[in-house]
Amino acid sequence: MINLLSTLSTGEYTGWLLALIIIALIWKLTWYGLAVYKALEKKDKPWFVVLFVAAFVLNDLGLLAIVYLVISKKKVTAKKK
């Protein structure tokens, strides 16, 4: 563990870590942006509040947003039948 920390502090992996953080941030913002937009569009207040709070409090890489999008898509498909 100490070896890993000393390696990280020397800057050998900072480029990769920065790239990974940027990719994770883009991933999260994309999913949350889409889910919040869909919740607003459908006037789904409870989901909007949950997604909005989760986007700023939780760090789940957009998994909650993906769950909402899948659930809401199934509801629309069921209503069309």
* 3-class DSSP state of 44: coil
In a domain, 16, yes or no: no
Residue 2 lies in a domain: no
pLDDT band at 23 (very low <50, low <70, confident <90, very high): very high
- Specify the number of domains making up the chain: 1
% of the chain surpassing 90 pLDDT: 7
The range of the structural domain enclosing residue 35 comes to 23-80
- The gap from C-alpha 37 to its chain's centroid, in whole angstroms, comes to 13
Q: What percent of the chain has a predicted confidence (pLDDT) above 70?
A: 68
Position 15 in a domain: no
Region of 45 please: left (phi>0), alpha (psi -120 to 50) or beta: alpha
Condensed to tens digits (0 to 9), the pLDDT of residues 44-72 reads 899 888 887 777 776 666 777 888 888 88
Dihedral sign (CA 65, 69, 71, 75): positive
Residue 58: left (phi > 0), alpha (psi -120 to 50), or beta? beta
pTM score, two decimals?
0.60
